Amino acid sequence: MTGNWSGFEAYMKAMMEKEAIPGAAVAVSLRGETVYQQGFGVRNMETGEPVTPDTVFGIASVTKSFTALAIMQLAEEGKLSLDDPVTKHLPEFTLRTSGGMQSEGIRVRHLLSHTAGVPPMRRREELRQFTEHLDYLANEEIELLGAPGDYFSYCNDTFLLLGAIIERLTCRPFRTAITERILEPLQMQRSTFSLDELAAWDNVSVPYVKRGGTRTLDEVPWPRLGNYEAGGGIRSTVRDLLKYGQIYLDEAEPSNDRPVARSESLRQMREPIHRIGRNVFYGCALRVTPDYSGVTLVEHGGGQPGVSSYFGFVPERGLVATVLTNVANVPANELWLAAVNTALGFPLEQKSSVEPTYEASPEELRRLTGAYRSAEGGSVDIVLEGNSSVAVIDGKALALRASDERTLVIADSGYPIRFFFEDEPQAWAAFYGSRMLRRVNE
């Protein structure tokens, strides 16, 4: 076994105590061999049943790369191109914008990379047919962020259109298509979209959320996601996700001896499309850090009620790692990176990106103040307290520091909030949580 895993386990236990995480599972493989797998804590606080590497958790938006992979398969089959207009496959697709009905210029590639220009929208989890969601997009008035390709902003309501395209081109229900094309060939036998199937399995985690920002945990039901399952509906295990990650390293041998996808398609998924941070890019449903101490980090996280997940790989080292937890809004990304660092022999708490220090003037700070909102529910308030900026997020006041004239950093976590300007002296949008939030007058 490589790495100082006893040090990692001490770190995990300390983080779980700090963040009030009931249960977590971690698994790491190097060049196809599992070098670490471990359950921590409990999957059910009432019964005290422990987490194991076979415990099923939600994986939330880690699901997005499965959907993207199915799109790449269809491209290999000649059924679509990433540069196809979305309307080629969904002729009824249109957006009701403040400037009129619009769909021109939005291509399949923009859906995959969250660069269609559509802001985060009001969630409609009761919609269970993709045709209903196409109607929703045609009737819900939105203000576009910009032209396709101008901005990156998470938008689950346009990403799920990939599920509609998959249904149209395979003539199969979306979840059936993903199951038949990816889960079954990779023998991911503890992975499912079905809550009915989940209810019949043993060793399944109970989902929890923190009550009102406190450490008190409340049990919640698994969310019924409707069409959003195209971007967040898989429940799985860390062992199954190692099987999945292996295909990106060109070393998987599916049960039918046919590759799930060609290596060039898999490489294309991790090619940078849009810069989303100082040294971080987004590809096709995967985040990419091109130079992390000489290697590439390819990763994606997810969050839902009862889920904080993280998955990724390091192609140069043949490494796959995944972390799953059963509580929302905890830093699974930090746990994941600690596992990666341990496997690679890097310092345990080394960060993938560190924002510099910048002395912002009072005028520069004033330009960033304001209330930033999205229809999806995202909310960040930037206020001045004396000569310092504070962010109010989820009712918590968080101290900030500047890293340049357009970026504030949450002091405790090092997480950046980036601001965008047009002609006005004040920022029109803040980029936080992978989403563009517009400045509003309140």
The pLDDT of residue 226: 97
Q: Are strands 281-282 and 287-292 parallel, antiparallel or unpaired?
A: antiparallel
The pLDDT of residue 252: 47
Q: Which two tokens stand for residue 132?
A: 């209903």
The pLDDT of residue 199: 96
How many CB atoms sit inside 10 A of residue 129's CB? 12
The pLDDT of residue 259: 79
How many CB atoms sit inside 10 A of residue 442's CB? 7
The pLDDT of residue 441: 85
Cα-based torsion angle of the residue sequence 126, 129, 134, 135 in order, rounded to the nearest 10 degrees = -60
Examine the pLDDT at 360 and tell me if it is beyond 70.
Answer: yes
Q: Which range is least confidently modeled, 94-108, 160-174, 296-310, 426-440?
A: 94-108
Interatomic CA distance for residues 160 and 73, integer angstroms: 17
Predicted TM-score of the model (pTM): 0.96
| Residues 311-332, mean pLDDT to the nearest whole number | 97
| Residues 419-425, mean pLDDT to the nearest whole number | 92
| Residues 357-377, mean pLDDT to the nearest whole number | 96
Place of tokens 């979305």: 86
The pLDDT of residue 256: 54
| Residues 107-114, mean pLDDT to the nearest whole number | 98
In the chain, % helix, strand, coil (3-state, to 5) comes to: 30, 30, 40
- 209-222: per-residue pLDDT in tens? 998 878 899 999 99
- 143-163: per-residue pLDDT in tens? 999 999 999 999 999 999 999
- 41-100: per-residue pLDDT in tens? 999 999 999 999 999 999 999 999 999 999 999 999 999 999 999 999 999 999 999 888
The pLDDT of residue 287: 98
The pLDDT of residue 100: 82
| Residues 314-335, mean pLDDT to the nearest whole number | 97
> N- to C-terminal Cα distance for the chain?
56
Examine the pLDDT at 311 and tell me if it is beyond 90.
Answer: yes
Contact 307, 60 (CB under 8 A): yes
| Residues 282-292, mean pLDDT to the nearest whole number | 97
- 2-18: per-residue pLDDT in tens? 789 999 999 999 999 99
Examine the pLDDT at 398 and tell me if it is beyond 70.
Answer: yes
